[in-house]
Amino acid sequence: MFLVVAELQSQIHWWRIIVILMAAVPYGIDSITVCDACYWTIEEATKSGELIHKIETESHDVVDEIEMFSLQIANAQVEFSAAGFFPINYTLVFSVCGWKTVPKF
């Protein structure tokens, strides 16, 4: 974005601005794709606790193990992060684009 603003402040070369924006498009698509995959994986992981809890069996030992395991999964927070620095979710897309997510009053 800095390059686009710098080009707009100087003599306008539209072909240069278009080339810069077209070079940035694949990176934006990659970021959105990664965030989307992480989002849907987290959604499926949160459903797994409920699905495991619905398993029916006659053995009381297996039922107890399933209940304990499903409670552990249901209470666990699933999150993807970049080496613990920041979570990988849709807020990352807003941060990369430079949009402000919290308005100033």
What's the pLDDT tens digit per position in 48-89? 877 777 777 788 888 888 888 877 877 778 888 888 888 888
Find how far residue 69's CA is from the centre of its chain: 26
d(CA 67, CA 72): 9
- Give this prediction's pTM: 0.59
CA dihedral 36, 39, 40, 42 (to 10 degrees): 160
Map residue 12 onto helix, strand or coil.
Answer: coil
